Amino acid sequence: MNGSAIYIWIIIVVMPLGLISCGPTSPGSDPVPARQNSSNEKTTTLEGGSGKPEEAGGNSQGIQPEEIEGLSGAPEEASSYPLPDLSLMSEDSFQRNAKMGRLVARQRCILCHKIEGRGAILQPPLIQVSMRRLDRMKTYDSHLDQLRTSDPDRYSSKRDLLEKITAEADVLRKMQLWLSGYLRRPTFDNSQAKMPLQVLKPVEVDQLACYVIQLAIEGYQQGETPLED
Closest residue to bound ligand HEC by CB: 109
Report the distance separating Cα 132 and Cα 138, nearest Å: 10
Residue list 94-133, contact with ligand HEC (CB under 6 A): 105, 108-109, 111-113, 123-124, 129-130, 132-133
What number of chain residues touch ligand HEC (CB under 6 A)? Answer: 19
Give phi and psi for 118, each to the nearest 5: -115, 145
Alpha helices in the chain (DSSP H): 3-9, 15-22, 31-49, 59-62, 74-79, 92-108, 126-137, 140-150, 152-157, 159-167, 171-182, 202-221
For residue 121, the minimal CB distance to ligand HEC (Å) is 11
| Contacts of ligand HEC in 197-216 (CB under 6 A) | 198, 208, 212
Nearer to ligand HEC by Cβ, of 68 and 131: the residue is: 131
Residues numbered 56-85 forming contacts with ligand HEC, rule: CB under 6 A:
none
Q: Which residues contact 60 (CB under 8 A, 6 or more apart)?
A: 76
Kindly state the DSSP code that residue 126 receives in the 8-state scheme. Answer: H
How far apart are CB 89 and ligand HEC at their closest, in Å?
17
User: C-alpha 3: how far from its chain's center?
Assistant: 70
* Distance linking the first and last C-alpha atoms of the chain: 77
- For residue 11, the 8-state DSSP code is I
Beta-carbon count within 10 A of 78 CB: 20
Q: How far is the CB of 171 from ligand HEC (least distance, A)?
A: 14
Among 194, 199, 201, 229, binds ligand HEC (CB under 6 A): 194
**Taking the mean position of all CA atoms in its chain, how far away is CA 74?**
9
Shortest distance in whole angstroms from residue 81 CB to ligand HEC: 16
Pick 68 or 105: Cβ nearer ligand HEC: 105
Compare residues 75 and 119 and give the one whose CB is closer to ligand HEC: 119
Interaction between residue 162 and ligand HEC (CB under 6 A): no
Residues that bind ligand HEC (CB under 6 A): 105, 108-109, 111-113, 123-124, 129-130, 132-133, 136, 194-196, 198, 208, 212
